Structure 1
Amino acid sequence: MGSRLEILNAGRLRLDGRKPLEFRSLAIEVGSSSISSPSVLSRPDGCARVQQGLTSVHASVYGPREARSRGSTLHDRAILDVEVEVDPWSGRERRKRSKGDRRTTEIEAAIKATFEPVLHLHLFPRSEVSIFVTVEHQDGGVLPCAINTVTLALLDAGIPMSDYVLGVCAGMHLASNQTLIDLSALEEGSLPSLVIAYLARSRTVTLAQLETRIHADALPGLVKIAGDACAGVLLTEIDAAMRARTKKLAEAMGGKGPPYNVADISPDDSRSGIETS
Protein backbone atom coordinates (compact mmCIF):
# COMPACT_ATOMS: atom_id res chain seq x y z
CA MET A 1 0.00 0.00 0.00
CA GLY A 2 2.95 2.29 0.60
CA SER A 3 3.81 2.54 -3.10
CA ARG A 4 0.29 3.67 -3.89
CA LEU A 5 0.38 6.40 -1.28
CA GLU A 6 3.45 7.88 -2.96
CA ILE A 7 1.54 8.41 -6.22
CA LEU A 8 -0.33 11.31 -4.58
CA ASN A 9 1.36 13.29 -1.82
CA ALA A 10 -0.16 15.14 1.12
CA GLY A 11 -0.55 18.26 -1.02
CA ARG A 12 -2.59 16.20 -3.54
CA LEU A 13 0.13 16.50 -6.16
CA ARG A 14 1.42 13.63 -8.27
CA LEU A 15 5.04 12.54 -8.63
CA ASP A 16 5.56 14.79 -11.67
CA GLY A 17 3.95 17.79 -9.93
CA ARG A 18 0.60 17.59 -11.72
CA LYS A 19 -2.78 17.96 -10.04
CA PRO A 20 -5.03 14.86 -10.11
CA LEU A 21 -7.08 16.02 -13.12
CA GLU A 22 -4.24 17.67 -15.03
CA PHE A 23 -2.98 16.38 -18.38
CA ARG A 24 0.68 15.94 -19.22
CA SER A 25 2.19 18.42 -21.68
CA LEU A 26 0.64 17.93 -25.10
CA ALA A 27 2.44 18.48 -28.42
CA ILE A 28 0.56 17.99 -31.70
CA GLU A 29 1.73 17.93 -35.31
CA VAL A 30 -0.73 17.41 -38.17
CA GLY A 31 -0.06 16.87 -41.86
CA SER A 32 3.60 17.82 -42.05
CA SER A 33 5.72 15.91 -44.55
CA SER A 34 8.50 15.96 -41.97
CA ILE A 35 6.56 13.56 -39.72
CA SER A 36 5.97 10.80 -42.23
CA SER A 37 6.46 7.38 -40.72
CA PRO A 38 9.91 5.94 -41.49
CA SER A 39 8.34 2.47 -41.83
CA VAL A 40 6.08 3.52 -44.74
CA LEU A 41 7.70 4.75 -47.94
CA SER A 42 4.73 6.22 -49.85
CA ARG A 43 3.22 9.56 -48.94
CA PRO A 44 0.13 9.20 -46.73
CA ASP A 45 -3.20 10.91 -47.37
CA GLY A 46 -3.15 12.10 -43.76
CA CYS A 47 -0.70 11.93 -40.87
CA ALA A 48 -0.23 13.19 -37.34
CA ARG A 49 2.01 12.86 -34.32
CA VAL A 50 0.90 13.39 -30.73
CA GLN A 51 3.20 13.55 -27.73
CA GLN A 52 1.62 13.34 -24.28
CA GLY A 53 4.36 13.70 -21.71
CA LEU A 54 7.01 11.16 -22.69
CA THR A 55 4.59 9.04 -24.75
CA SER A 56 4.79 9.71 -28.49
CA VAL A 57 2.69 8.12 -31.26
CA HIS A 58 2.69 8.66 -35.03
CA ALA A 59 -0.20 7.69 -37.34
CA SER A 60 -0.52 7.61 -41.13
CA VAL A 61 -3.76 7.12 -43.07
CA TYR A 62 -4.06 5.83 -46.64
CA GLY A 63 -7.31 5.85 -48.56
CA PRO A 64 -9.98 5.40 -49.42
CA ARG A 65 -8.14 3.33 -52.02
CA GLU A 66 -8.47 0.06 -53.87
CA ALA A 67 -8.27 -2.81 -51.42
CA ARG A 68 -4.97 -4.65 -51.41
CA SER A 69 -6.83 -7.96 -51.24
CA ARG A 70 -9.82 -8.19 -53.57
CA GLY A 71 -11.13 -11.14 -51.61
CA SER A 72 -11.63 -9.00 -48.50
CA THR A 73 -13.63 -6.20 -50.14
CA LEU A 74 -17.21 -5.45 -49.10
CA HIS A 75 -19.83 -4.34 -51.63
CA ASP A 76 -21.57 -1.91 -49.26
CA ARG A 77 -18.70 -0.18 -47.45
CA ALA A 78 -14.95 0.21 -47.12
CA ILE A 79 -12.94 -2.10 -44.93
CA LEU A 80 -10.82 -0.62 -42.15
CA ASP A 81 -7.33 -2.02 -41.73
CA VAL A 82 -5.18 -1.12 -38.71
CA GLU A 83 -1.52 -1.98 -38.21
CA VAL A 84 0.48 -1.07 -35.10
CA GLU A 85 4.25 -1.10 -34.75
CA VAL A 86 6.14 -0.50 -31.51
CA ASP A 87 9.71 0.78 -31.89
CA PRO A 88 12.16 -1.51 -30.05
CA TRP A 89 13.68 1.46 -28.22
CA SER A 90 10.34 3.01 -27.24
CA GLY A 91 10.29 1.66 -23.68
CA ARG A 92 12.73 1.27 -20.85
CA GLU A 93 13.83 -2.10 -22.21
CA ARG A 94 14.95 -2.52 -25.81
CA ARG A 95 12.53 -5.09 -27.20
CA LYS A 96 11.45 -5.77 -30.76
CA ARG A 97 7.81 -6.83 -30.96
CA SER A 98 7.05 -9.15 -33.86
CA LYS A 99 3.94 -8.80 -35.99
CA GLY A 100 1.10 -10.52 -34.19
CA ASP A 101 2.52 -9.76 -30.74
CA ARG A 102 -0.27 -9.89 -28.17
CA ARG A 103 0.09 -6.28 -27.02
CA THR A 104 0.16 -4.78 -30.53
CA THR A 105 -2.73 -7.04 -31.57
CA GLU A 106 -4.77 -5.71 -28.63
CA ILE A 107 -4.06 -2.10 -29.62
CA GLU A 108 -4.97 -2.82 -33.26
CA ALA A 109 -8.26 -4.43 -32.21
CA ALA A 110 -9.11 -1.57 -29.84
CA ILE A 111 -8.43 1.10 -32.49
CA LYS A 112 -10.48 -0.75 -35.10
CA ALA A 113 -13.40 -1.28 -32.70
CA THR A 114 -13.27 2.38 -31.70
CA PHE A 115 -13.29 3.92 -35.16
CA GLU A 116 -15.44 1.55 -37.25
CA PRO A 117 -18.74 2.85 -35.78
CA VAL A 118 -17.65 6.50 -36.19
CA LEU A 119 -16.27 6.52 -39.75
CA HIS A 120 -18.70 6.78 -42.66
CA LEU A 121 -17.26 3.76 -44.44
CA HIS A 122 -20.51 3.21 -46.36
CA LEU A 123 -19.56 6.13 -48.59
CA PHE A 124 -16.66 4.13 -50.06
CA PRO A 125 -17.86 0.65 -51.08
CA ARG A 126 -15.33 -1.90 -52.32
CA SER A 127 -12.40 0.13 -51.02
CA GLU A 128 -10.03 0.21 -48.07
CA VAL A 129 -8.91 2.71 -45.43
CA SER A 130 -5.56 1.79 -43.91
CA ILE A 131 -4.22 3.15 -40.63
CA PHE A 132 -0.57 2.66 -39.68
CA VAL A 133 0.37 3.48 -36.09
CA THR A 134 3.92 3.68 -34.75
CA VAL A 135 4.54 3.89 -31.01
CA GLU A 136 7.78 5.87 -30.82
CA HIS A 137 8.07 6.36 -27.06
CA GLN A 138 5.94 4.93 -24.27
CA ASP A 139 5.51 6.16 -20.74
CA GLY A 140 1.90 5.30 -20.03
CA GLY A 141 -1.31 6.06 -21.89
CA VAL A 142 -0.21 4.48 -25.17
CA LEU A 143 -3.69 3.44 -26.35
CA PRO A 144 -5.43 6.79 -25.62
CA CYS A 145 -2.52 8.67 -27.21
CA ALA A 146 -2.85 6.41 -30.27
CA ILE A 147 -6.60 7.11 -30.45
CA ASN A 148 -6.00 10.87 -30.37
CA THR A 149 -3.33 10.58 -33.04
CA VAL A 150 -5.49 8.44 -35.33
CA THR A 151 -8.36 10.95 -35.02
CA LEU A 152 -6.10 13.75 -36.24
CA ALA A 153 -4.63 11.65 -39.07
CA LEU A 154 -8.11 10.61 -40.28
CA LEU A 155 -9.29 14.23 -40.27
CA ASP A 156 -6.14 15.26 -42.13
CA ALA A 157 -6.91 12.58 -44.74
CA GLY A 158 -10.45 13.91 -45.12
CA ILE A 159 -12.15 10.67 -44.05
CA PRO A 160 -15.73 11.57 -43.00
CA MET A 161 -16.48 10.82 -39.36
CA SER A 162 -19.39 11.67 -37.10
CA ASP A 163 -17.43 13.15 -34.20
CA TYR A 164 -14.06 13.75 -32.64
CA VAL A 165 -12.86 10.52 -31.01
CA LEU A 166 -10.73 11.31 -27.97
CA GLY A 167 -8.94 8.92 -25.63
CA VAL A 168 -7.85 9.20 -22.02
CA CYS A 169 -6.65 6.90 -19.27
CA ALA A 170 -8.04 7.43 -15.76
CA GLY A 171 -7.04 5.74 -12.52
CA MET A 172 -8.34 5.54 -8.96
CA HIS A 173 -6.02 6.36 -6.05
CA LEU A 174 -7.60 4.07 -3.49
CA ALA A 175 -6.03 5.58 -0.38
CA SER A 176 -7.62 8.99 -1.02
CA ASN A 177 -10.50 7.91 -3.30
CA GLN A 178 -9.15 10.41 -5.84
CA THR A 179 -9.40 10.03 -9.63
CA LEU A 180 -6.27 10.75 -11.68
CA ILE A 181 -6.29 11.25 -15.46
CA ASP A 182 -3.65 10.83 -18.18
CA LEU A 183 -1.61 8.30 -16.25
CA SER A 184 2.14 7.85 -16.59
CA ALA A 185 3.64 4.36 -16.76
CA LEU A 186 4.41 4.37 -13.02
CA GLU A 187 0.83 5.37 -12.23
CA GLU A 188 -0.59 2.76 -14.61
CA GLY A 189 1.40 0.09 -12.81
CA SER A 190 0.25 1.21 -9.37
CA LEU A 191 -3.42 2.14 -9.77
CA PRO A 192 -6.61 0.46 -10.99
CA SER A 193 -7.12 2.14 -14.37
CA LEU A 194 -9.60 2.57 -17.19
CA VAL A 195 -9.08 3.64 -20.82
CA ILE A 196 -12.02 5.23 -22.61
CA ALA A 197 -12.55 6.53 -26.13
CA TYR A 198 -15.08 9.35 -26.06
CA LEU A 199 -17.16 11.08 -28.71
CA ALA A 200 -16.69 14.66 -27.61
CA ARG A 201 -19.78 16.34 -29.05
CA SER A 202 -22.34 13.58 -28.57
CA ARG A 203 -20.74 12.71 -25.20
CA THR A 204 -20.81 8.99 -25.86
CA VAL A 205 -18.31 6.34 -24.80
CA THR A 206 -17.30 4.22 -27.79
CA LEU A 207 -14.63 2.15 -26.00
CA ALA A 208 -14.06 1.24 -22.37
CA GLN A 209 -11.11 -0.96 -21.49
CA LEU A 210 -10.28 -1.99 -17.93
CA GLU A 211 -6.69 -3.02 -17.29
CA THR A 212 -7.41 -3.94 -13.63
CA ARG A 213 -10.42 -4.53 -11.41
CA ILE A 214 -12.42 -1.51 -10.25
CA HIS A 215 -15.35 -1.62 -7.87
CA ALA A 216 -18.64 -1.35 -9.73
CA ASP A 217 -19.77 1.60 -7.59
CA ALA A 218 -16.70 3.63 -8.56
CA LEU A 219 -16.91 2.95 -12.29
CA PRO A 220 -19.65 5.47 -13.29
CA GLY A 221 -17.84 8.33 -11.56
CA LEU A 222 -14.55 7.35 -13.15
CA VAL A 223 -16.12 7.27 -16.62
CA LYS A 224 -17.77 10.66 -16.08
CA ILE A 225 -14.56 12.35 -14.96
CA ALA A 226 -12.64 10.81 -17.88
CA GLY A 227 -15.34 11.92 -20.33
CA ASP A 228 -15.38 15.46 -18.93
CA ALA A 229 -11.59 15.59 -19.33
CA CYS A 230 -11.92 14.56 -22.98
CA ALA A 231 -14.68 17.10 -23.67
CA GLY A 232 -12.71 19.86 -21.94
CA VAL A 233 -8.97 20.40 -22.24
CA LEU A 234 -8.32 17.58 -24.72
CA LEU A 235 -11.05 18.65 -27.15
CA THR A 236 -9.80 22.25 -27.01
CA GLU A 237 -6.24 21.18 -27.90
CA ILE A 238 -7.28 18.77 -30.68
CA ASP A 239 -9.71 21.28 -32.15
CA ALA A 240 -7.09 24.05 -32.09
CA ALA A 241 -4.62 21.79 -33.93
CA MET A 242 -7.18 21.02 -36.66
CA ARG A 243 -8.18 24.67 -37.00
CA ALA A 244 -4.52 25.61 -37.45
CA ARG A 245 -4.11 22.86 -40.06
CA THR A 246 -7.27 23.97 -41.91
CA LYS A 247 -6.15 27.60 -41.85
CA LYS A 248 -2.75 26.65 -43.26
CA LEU A 249 -4.35 24.66 -46.11
CA ALA A 250 -6.84 27.45 -46.87
CA GLU A 251 -4.08 30.07 -46.99
CA ALA A 252 -2.03 27.85 -49.30
CA MET A 253 -5.02 27.83 -51.65
CA GLY A 254 -5.40 31.61 -51.42
CA GLY A 255 -8.29 31.64 -48.97
CA LYS A 256 -8.80 32.22 -45.28
CA GLY A 257 -9.19 29.83 -42.39
CA PRO A 258 -12.58 29.14 -40.80
CA PRO A 259 -13.71 31.91 -38.41
CA TYR A 260 -15.67 29.50 -36.25
CA ASN A 261 -14.78 26.99 -33.55
CA VAL A 262 -15.54 23.44 -34.65
CA ALA A 263 -16.32 22.34 -31.10
CA ASP A 264 -19.04 24.98 -30.85
CA ILE A 265 -20.89 24.00 -34.04
CA SER A 266 -24.37 22.67 -33.42
CA PRO A 267 -25.18 19.09 -34.54
CA ASP A 268 -27.19 20.38 -37.55
CA ASP A 269 -24.39 22.63 -38.82
CA SER A 270 -22.37 21.13 -41.71
CA ARG A 271 -19.57 23.72 -41.89
CA SER A 272 -17.06 21.59 -40.02
CA GLY A 273 -14.95 18.72 -41.28
CA ILE A 274 -16.88 16.49 -38.88
CA GLU A 275 -19.93 14.91 -40.49
CA THR A 276 -23.21 15.38 -38.62
CA SER A 277 -26.34 13.30 -38.54
Structure 2
Amino acid sequence: MRRRPALVIGSTGKTGRRIVHRLTGLGHPVRGASRRSDPPFVWEEPSTWSEALRGAGSVYVSFFPDLAAPGAPTAIETLTSYAADAGVERLVLLSGRGEANAQRCEEIVRESGLTWTLIRTSWFSQNFTEGHLLPSVLEGVIALPAGDVAEPFVDADDIADVAAAALTGDGHSGRLYELTGPRLLTFYEAAAEISKTAGHDVGYVPVTSERFHAAVAQSAGSDYADLLTNLCAEVFDGRNESLAHGVREALGREPRDFTDFCRAAAASGVWTR
Protein backbone atom coordinates (compact mmCIF):
# COMPACT_ATOMS: atom_id res chain seq x y z
CA MET A 1 0.00 0.00 0.00
CA ARG A 2 1.33 3.44 -0.91
CA ARG A 3 2.17 5.59 2.09
CA ARG A 4 0.09 8.68 2.55
CA PRO A 5 2.16 11.83 2.19
CA ALA A 6 3.33 14.11 4.93
CA LEU A 7 1.90 17.61 4.61
CA VAL A 8 4.21 20.45 5.59
CA ILE A 9 2.26 23.59 6.48
CA GLY A 10 4.57 26.55 6.09
CA SER A 11 6.62 24.80 3.42
CA THR A 12 8.32 28.00 2.24
CA GLY A 13 9.48 29.00 5.75
CA LYS A 14 12.77 28.47 7.57
CA THR A 15 11.88 25.02 8.88
CA GLY A 16 9.25 23.94 6.39
CA ARG A 17 11.37 24.08 3.25
CA ARG A 18 14.13 22.16 5.02
CA ILE A 19 11.67 19.45 6.06
CA VAL A 20 10.34 19.10 2.52
CA HIS A 21 13.92 18.78 1.25
CA ARG A 22 14.78 16.10 3.82
CA LEU A 23 11.68 14.00 3.28
CA THR A 24 12.07 14.19 -0.48
CA GLY A 25 15.69 13.09 -0.20
CA LEU A 26 14.69 10.16 1.99
CA GLY A 27 12.07 9.03 -0.51
CA HIS A 28 9.05 9.85 1.64
CA PRO A 29 6.00 11.26 -0.13
CA VAL A 30 5.55 14.87 0.92
CA ARG A 31 3.40 17.85 -0.02
CA GLY A 32 4.09 21.47 0.75
CA ALA A 33 1.30 23.77 1.90
CA SER A 34 1.55 27.53 1.60
CA ARG A 35 -0.19 30.47 -0.02
CA ARG A 36 1.42 29.51 -3.31
CA SER A 37 0.87 25.74 -3.19
CA ASP A 38 -1.79 23.90 -5.19
CA PRO A 39 -4.16 23.63 -3.43
CA PRO A 40 -3.23 26.70 -1.38
CA PHE A 41 -3.19 26.85 2.41
CA VAL A 42 -3.87 30.28 3.88
CA TRP A 43 -4.03 30.68 7.66
CA GLU A 44 -6.42 33.62 7.39
CA GLU A 45 -8.79 31.58 5.17
CA PRO A 46 -9.92 28.35 6.91
CA SER A 47 -11.92 27.52 3.79
CA THR A 48 -8.59 26.47 2.21
CA TRP A 49 -7.61 24.05 4.93
CA SER A 50 -9.74 20.95 4.22
CA GLU A 51 -8.59 20.55 0.63
CA ALA A 52 -4.95 21.00 1.62
CA LEU A 53 -5.27 18.38 4.38
CA ARG A 54 -7.04 15.82 2.19
CA GLY A 55 -5.09 12.57 1.90
CA ALA A 56 -2.31 13.55 4.32
CA GLY A 57 -1.08 10.92 6.76
CA SER A 58 0.96 13.27 8.93
CA VAL A 59 1.07 17.05 9.19
CA TYR A 60 3.77 19.49 10.26
CA VAL A 61 2.31 22.75 11.57
CA SER A 62 4.26 26.00 11.56
CA PHE A 63 1.82 28.78 12.38
CA PHE A 64 2.17 32.16 10.71
CA PRO A 65 3.10 34.71 11.89
CA ASP A 66 3.85 33.08 15.27
CA LEU A 67 2.04 31.14 17.98
CA ALA A 68 2.44 34.27 20.10
CA ALA A 69 -0.23 35.94 17.95
CA PRO A 70 -3.56 36.41 19.80
CA GLY A 71 -5.56 34.34 17.31
CA ALA A 72 -3.21 31.35 17.30
CA PRO A 73 -5.05 29.12 19.82
CA THR A 74 -8.34 29.44 17.95
CA ALA A 75 -6.64 28.68 14.65
CA ILE A 76 -4.80 25.64 16.04
CA GLU A 77 -7.98 24.29 17.64
CA THR A 78 -9.83 24.62 14.35
CA LEU A 79 -6.98 23.04 12.42
CA THR A 80 -6.87 19.99 14.70
CA SER A 81 -10.60 19.51 14.10
CA TYR A 82 -10.13 19.71 10.34
CA ALA A 83 -7.17 17.32 10.55
CA ALA A 84 -9.21 14.78 12.50
CA ASP A 85 -12.02 15.01 9.95
CA ALA A 86 -9.49 14.48 7.14
CA GLY A 87 -8.18 11.29 8.77
CA VAL A 88 -4.74 12.65 9.60
CA GLU A 89 -2.83 10.16 11.75
CA ARG A 90 -0.23 12.38 13.41
CA LEU A 91 0.39 16.07 13.99
CA VAL A 92 3.79 17.68 14.62
CA LEU A 93 3.56 21.21 16.04
CA LEU A 94 6.40 23.74 15.97
CA SER A 95 6.18 25.65 19.25
CA GLY A 96 8.06 28.45 20.98
CA ARG A 97 10.12 28.07 24.14
CA GLY A 98 8.97 30.28 27.01
CA GLU A 99 5.90 31.54 25.15
CA ALA A 100 2.66 31.32 27.13
CA ASN A 101 0.44 31.42 24.06
CA ALA A 102 2.49 28.72 22.37
CA GLN A 103 2.04 26.47 25.38
CA ARG A 104 -1.72 27.01 25.18
CA CYS A 105 -1.52 25.77 21.60
CA GLU A 106 0.49 22.76 22.74
CA GLU A 107 -2.30 21.84 25.16
CA ILE A 108 -4.85 22.09 22.36
CA VAL A 109 -2.84 19.62 20.29
CA ARG A 110 -2.39 17.28 23.28
CA GLU A 111 -6.16 17.21 23.81
CA SER A 112 -7.10 16.92 20.13
CA GLY A 113 -7.38 13.14 20.02
CA LEU A 114 -4.72 13.01 17.31
CA THR A 115 -1.33 11.36 17.66
CA TRP A 116 1.06 14.23 18.28
CA THR A 117 4.65 15.37 18.72
CA LEU A 118 5.56 18.82 20.06
CA ILE A 119 8.78 20.55 19.01
CA ARG A 120 9.48 23.50 21.30
CA THR A 121 12.32 25.65 20.08
CA SER A 122 14.46 28.57 21.18
CA TRP A 123 15.72 31.48 19.01
CA PHE A 124 16.71 30.29 15.51
CA SER A 125 20.30 30.83 14.42
CA GLN A 126 18.86 31.42 10.94
CA ASN A 127 17.17 34.61 12.15
CA PHE A 128 20.55 36.17 11.36
CA THR A 129 20.54 34.91 7.76
CA GLU A 130 16.94 34.51 6.63
CA GLY A 131 14.90 36.84 8.79
CA HIS A 132 14.44 40.54 9.34
CA LEU A 133 17.83 40.71 11.11
CA LEU A 134 19.82 39.94 7.95
CA PRO A 135 19.91 43.61 6.85
CA SER A 136 21.14 44.51 10.33
CA VAL A 137 23.96 41.98 10.09
CA LEU A 138 24.93 43.37 6.69
CA GLU A 139 24.90 46.91 8.10
CA GLY A 140 27.01 45.76 11.05
CA VAL A 141 24.62 46.58 13.93
CA ILE A 142 22.14 44.15 15.53
CA ALA A 143 19.69 46.16 17.65
CA LEU A 144 17.35 44.20 19.93
CA PRO A 145 15.55 44.79 23.24
CA ALA A 146 17.36 41.81 24.76
CA GLY A 147 19.78 43.45 27.20
CA ASP A 148 22.53 41.01 28.13
CA VAL A 149 20.27 37.96 28.22
CA ALA A 150 21.76 34.71 26.93
CA GLU A 151 20.07 32.45 24.37
CA PRO A 152 20.73 28.80 23.46
CA PHE A 153 20.52 29.50 19.70
CA VAL A 154 19.14 26.49 17.82
CA ASP A 155 19.86 25.64 14.21
CA ALA A 156 16.89 25.28 11.86
CA ASP A 157 18.57 22.24 10.31
CA ASP A 158 18.33 20.47 13.67
CA ILE A 159 14.66 21.41 13.92
CA ALA A 160 14.03 20.02 10.44
CA ASP A 161 15.81 16.76 11.25
CA VAL A 162 13.71 16.26 14.38
CA ALA A 163 10.49 17.15 12.58
CA ALA A 164 11.25 14.81 9.68
CA ALA A 165 11.85 11.97 12.14
CA ALA A 166 8.63 12.73 14.02
CA LEU A 167 6.59 12.84 10.80
CA THR A 168 7.81 9.53 9.46
CA GLY A 169 9.43 7.46 12.20
CA ASP A 170 8.35 5.43 15.20
CA GLY A 171 8.88 6.32 18.85
CA HIS A 172 8.02 10.02 18.68
CA SER A 173 4.31 9.92 19.48
CA GLY A 174 3.31 11.78 22.62
CA ARG A 175 6.76 13.34 22.97
CA LEU A 176 7.71 16.92 23.71
CA TYR A 177 11.14 17.72 22.31
CA GLU A 178 12.61 20.96 23.62
CA LEU A 179 15.34 22.00 21.22
CA THR A 180 18.28 24.28 21.94
CA GLY A 181 21.83 24.60 20.78
CA PRO A 182 24.68 23.18 22.87
CA ARG A 183 25.63 26.42 24.68
CA LEU A 184 24.34 29.78 25.83
CA LEU A 185 25.44 33.00 24.14
CA THR A 186 24.50 36.59 24.74
CA PHE A 187 23.72 38.66 21.67
CA TYR A 188 27.04 40.43 22.26
CA GLU A 189 28.75 37.05 21.95
CA ALA A 190 26.65 35.99 18.97
CA ALA A 191 27.56 39.20 17.13
CA ALA A 192 31.22 38.58 17.89
CA GLU A 193 30.95 35.04 16.49
CA ILE A 194 29.33 36.38 13.33
CA SER A 195 32.08 39.00 12.98
CA LYS A 196 34.76 36.30 12.93
CA THR A 197 33.38 34.79 9.73
CA ALA A 198 31.26 37.49 8.03
CA GLY A 199 34.22 39.48 6.73
CA HIS A 200 33.11 42.69 8.43
CA ASP A 201 32.49 43.87 11.98
CA VAL A 202 29.08 43.16 13.49
CA GLY A 203 28.08 44.56 16.85
CA TYR A 204 25.10 44.21 19.14
CA VAL A 205 23.32 47.24 20.59
CA PRO A 206 20.63 46.71 23.26
CA VAL A 207 17.72 49.08 22.61
CA THR A 208 14.44 49.95 24.30
CA SER A 209 11.24 48.24 23.28
CA GLU A 210 9.97 51.56 21.96
CA ARG A 211 12.93 52.05 19.66
CA PHE A 212 12.74 48.46 18.47
CA HIS A 213 9.01 48.77 17.75
CA ALA A 214 9.55 51.90 15.71
CA ALA A 215 12.25 50.26 13.60
CA VAL A 216 10.20 47.11 12.90
CA ALA A 217 7.06 49.12 12.16
CA GLN A 218 8.92 51.14 9.56
CA SER A 219 10.01 48.03 7.66
CA ALA A 220 7.24 45.51 8.37
CA GLY A 221 4.19 47.39 9.61
CA SER A 222 2.74 48.17 13.01
CA ASP A 223 0.89 44.85 13.49
CA TYR A 224 4.04 42.80 13.08
CA ALA A 225 5.95 45.30 15.20
CA ASP A 226 3.40 44.84 18.00
CA LEU A 227 3.71 41.05 17.82
CA LEU A 228 7.49 40.97 17.72
CA THR A 229 7.98 43.61 20.42
CA ASN A 230 5.59 41.83 22.78
CA LEU A 231 7.28 38.51 22.08
CA CYS A 232 10.72 39.96 22.84
CA ALA A 233 9.42 41.44 26.09
CA GLU A 234 8.10 38.01 27.06
CA VAL A 235 11.07 35.79 26.26
CA PHE A 236 14.07 38.09 26.81
CA ASP A 237 13.67 38.10 30.57
CA GLY A 238 16.09 35.26 31.20
CA ARG A 239 13.52 32.46 31.20
CA ASN A 240 15.30 30.66 28.37
CA GLU A 241 18.80 30.84 29.84
CA SER A 242 19.14 27.08 30.09
CA LEU A 243 19.95 24.18 27.79
CA ALA A 244 17.62 21.37 26.79
CA HIS A 245 18.41 18.05 25.16
CA GLY A 246 15.62 17.47 22.63
CA VAL A 247 17.94 16.98 19.68
CA ARG A 248 19.79 14.21 21.50
CA GLU A 249 16.52 12.65 22.70
CA ALA A 250 15.01 12.60 19.22
CA LEU A 251 18.05 11.85 17.06
CA GLY A 252 20.74 10.42 19.32
CA ARG A 253 23.26 13.15 18.45
CA GLU A 254 24.27 16.56 19.73
CA PRO A 255 22.87 19.80 18.27
CA ARG A 256 24.82 21.98 15.87
CA ASP A 257 26.95 24.68 17.47
CA PHE A 258 26.52 28.37 16.63
CA THR A 259 30.12 28.59 15.43
CA ASP A 260 29.46 25.88 12.83
CA PHE A 261 26.33 27.73 11.73
CA CYS A 262 28.36 30.95 11.29
CA ARG A 263 31.02 29.22 9.22
CA ALA A 264 28.42 27.68 6.91
CA ALA A 265 26.52 30.96 6.60
CA ALA A 266 29.67 32.85 5.71
CA ALA A 267 30.66 30.22 3.15
CA SER A 268 27.25 30.58 1.48
CA GLY A 269 27.90 34.27 0.85
CA VAL A 270 24.75 35.44 2.62
CA TRP A 271 26.73 37.94 4.74
CA THR A 272 28.81 39.30 1.84
CA ARG A 273 28.20 43.01 1.38
TM-score calculated relative to the size of structure 1: 0.29
* Higher helix proportion (structure 1 or 2): 2
